[in-house]
Amino acid sequence: LAKTTQPISMDSYEGQEVNITCSHNNIATNDYITWYQQFPSQGPRFIIQGYKTKVTNEVASLFIPADRKSSTLSLPRVSLSDTAVYYCLVVGDSSYKLIFGSGTRLLVRP
Amino acid sequence: DTAVSQTPKYLVTQMGNDKSIKCEQNLGHDTMYWYKQDSKKFLKIMFSYNNKELIINETVPNRFSPKSPDKAHLNLHINSLELGDSAVYFCASSQEGGQGAYNSPLHFGNGTRLTVT
């Protein structure tokens, strides 16, 4: 099962771009990379998912290099409300157990 | 209007008691899950049901028993509660079931905070 490694925490300021990198060295061919956001006292919320290269939606962008051993979640111009824990998951047909790692706690300061 | 709803939101009980947590989803999803989040914020999957059939059963004490009366409901019953059971329990659902579930985003409820005293 592909395991992920993320920074435990990150600090940023309002208006800045934040990039959170996740390592997944033993990702399998059929695995997808998925990111979730969790606010205090709430369940995780799906942000974005990708397989390779770049995916963009109204919330974030996901960059995946050719070897797919890592991925970067990019949050453009963060605001205070982006303060949350961000989880990177690698999911595939052999790991549909959807294993969450420890996540990255992002603190956005005024 | 809530997509995945859990009840109760808070549950405080004493050791040795039996309690249940209920979960309902109105998204029409095939698969439902129970996760446990401990004090260190690790989210660990406990169970998964696809169309009322158990497909994931992690190493969880048999005091925990999931029950799925229909595709939209997955309840969690816990017998003989212990101090270590204190955690936040999240219910979730996804569109596809079985092996197809891996690329279907999870939709989570807001959790049930269980405190065992």
pLDDT in tens, B28-62: 998 899 999 988 778 888 988 887 778 777 778 99
Query: Which residues are within 8 A (CB) of A39 and not within 5 positions of it... i.e. 6 or more apart?
Result: A45, A84
Instruction: Give the amino acid at A26.
Output: N
- Starting at the edge strand found earlier in the chain, the sheet holding A70-75 runs A18-23, A70-75, A61-64, A53-56
In chain A, residues with a C-beta closer than 8 Å to the C-beta of B33 are: 98
pLDDT in tens, A60-94: 999 999 999 999 999 999 999 999 999 998 877 65
- Whether B21 and chain A come into contact, CB under 8 Å, resolves to no
| Closest-CA residue of chain B to A88 | B43
> Closest partner residue to A43 among B41, B44, B109, by Cβ?
B109
Q: Given pLDDT bands bounded at 50, 70 and 90, which one contains residue B114? A: very high
> Closest partner residue to A93 among B35, B45, B99, by Cβ?
B99
Q: Given pLDDT bands bounded at 50, 70 and 90, which one contains residue B1? A: low
Question: Three-state secondary structure along B10-70?
Answer: EEEECCCCCEEEEEEECCCCCEEEEEEECCCCCEEEEEEEECCEEEEECCCCCCEEEEEEE
| Closest-CA residue of chain B to A48 | B105
Q: Given pLDDT bands bounded at 50, 70 and 90, which one contains residue B5? A: very high
A32-38/A84-91 β-pairing = antiparallel
> Closest partner residue to B43 among A31, A91, A100, by Cβ?
A100
User: Is a pLDDT exceeding 90 seen at residue B26?
Assistant: yes
User: Is a pLDDT exceeding 90 seen at residue A28?
Assistant: no
Average pLDDT, chain A: 90
User: Is a pLDDT exceeding 90 seen at residue B98?
Assistant: no
Torsions phi, psi for B14 (to 5 deg): -100, 155
- Whether B60 and chain A come into contact, CB under 8 Å, resolves to no
Give the residue among B38, B34, B44 at the shortest CA–CA distance from B87.
B38
In chain A, residues with a C-beta closer than 8 Å to the C-beta of B106 are: 36, 44, 46, 98
Question: How far is it, in rounded angstroms, from Cα B41 to Cα A70?
Answer: 22
CA distance B14 to chain A (A): 23
